[in-house]
Amino acid sequence: MAEKFLEVKNLKKYFKTKRGWLHAVDDIDFVINKGETLGLVGESGCGKSTTGRVVLRLLEATAGEILFNGEDVLKFNKQKMREMRQNAQIVFQDPFASLNPRMSVSQIIAEPLVINKTVSSKHEIQKKVASLMETVGLASRLENVYPHELDGGRRQRIGIARALALNPSFIVLDEPVSALDVSIQAQILNLMDELQDELGLTYLFVSHDLSVIKHVSDNIAVMYLGKIVEMSDYASIFVDPLHPYTKALLSAIPIPDVDIKRERIILEGDVPSPIAPPPGCRFYGRCYARKDICKDNTPELLPVSEGRSVACHIVHEQRKG
């Protein structure tokens, strides 16, 4: 039986603005089992990156619970959080912006070791850095070069090595390949997959690209305007998507075969403002299948089969019928 590693309950993150409260993450729930990957996918601005940062308490939650191995992270004091941070790391989207341009490769990777004083001598630090560089596929000759001298793929490998320095068990991957060329994307994704198998890592993989999510995730959560609208295992969602938004996202993935025809679902209208979002289903204004019930009644994320949940009145009505 799968062991729960991370459980998020009723998580909310609101930002105060001049126009009102911005609902970046609005009452979401999900579970990640130990050694597995949850892919969190959605359009830009849906709240997925904010979710990853709130889970690590890089941003403080407005409300909810974040349970790591049954303990609520939001109740941790400073000392407990320091211990937790060694066990949970993040790889950022832009490998250039997230690396200090004044530090060499070896200094960047060694920084967590120095700050947390997990090794006692310079020799041990050098040995650990060399081991981490080898683990992520960085040649030892690069230890004294600087980020601007390297390509995007090597920069991202530095970020991954830094995230692994303290031997974490959980990593948030915040669009780690979106800034890279396609061939380099494949290398980084394969590396993350290999590291997960070797080290028993658990991932929250944030991306706007379902074709990337497909290859790395055990389960997938689709997010729209601060809400999770569908959750599924990775296989089912590509064979039989349920929520109209998920269907639209899947229809936008290019197929490298001219003989395969697929109807493209074009979403009309604009994404509503996350400041005082509309009542009812937040996808209502852009949904091609909407009904009157969707306008004022907020759909709940309810199970429809084993391992699958969806927040859609239309789907629930069809299942009942």
Measured between its terminal Cα atoms, the distance across the chain in Å is: 33
**What is the per-residue pLDDT for 259?**
60
**pLDDT at residue 212, as a whole number:** 85
Structural domains counted in the chain: 1
Task: Say if residues 181 and 131 touch (Cβ distance below 8 Å).
Answer: no
For every one of its 321 residues, what pLDDT tens digit does the chain have, with 9 covering 90 and above?
678 999 999 999 999 999 999 999 999 999 999 999 999 999 888 999 999 999 999 999 999 999 998 899 999 999 999 889 899 999 998 888 899 999 999 999 999 999 988 888 899 999 999 999 999 999 999 999 999 999 888 999 999 999 999 999 999 999 988 878 888 888 889 999 999 999 999 999 999 888 888 888 999 999 999 999 999 998 889 888 999 999 988 887 766 655 656 677 777 777 888 998 888 999 998 888 889 999 989 999 999 988 899 999 999 888 775
**H-assigned helices in the chain:** 48-55, 78-87, 105-116, 122-135, 152-164, 182-199, 210-216, 234-239, 244-251, 292-296, 313-320
Nearest partner of 134 among 102, 164, 99, judged by Cα:
164
Calpha distance 189→176 (Å, rounded): 9
Task: Provide the domain limits for residue 131.
Answer: 4-320
CA distance 108 to 149: 14
Instruction: Residue 38: count other Cβ atoms within 10 Å of its Cβ.
Output: 24
- Of 88, 71, 68, 48, the residue nearest 201 (C-alpha): 88
The rounded distance, in Å, linking the Cα atoms of 164 and 199 is 10
The pLDDT score that the predictor gives to residue 244 is 93
Q: The CATH number of the domain where 38 resides is what?
A: 3.40.50.300
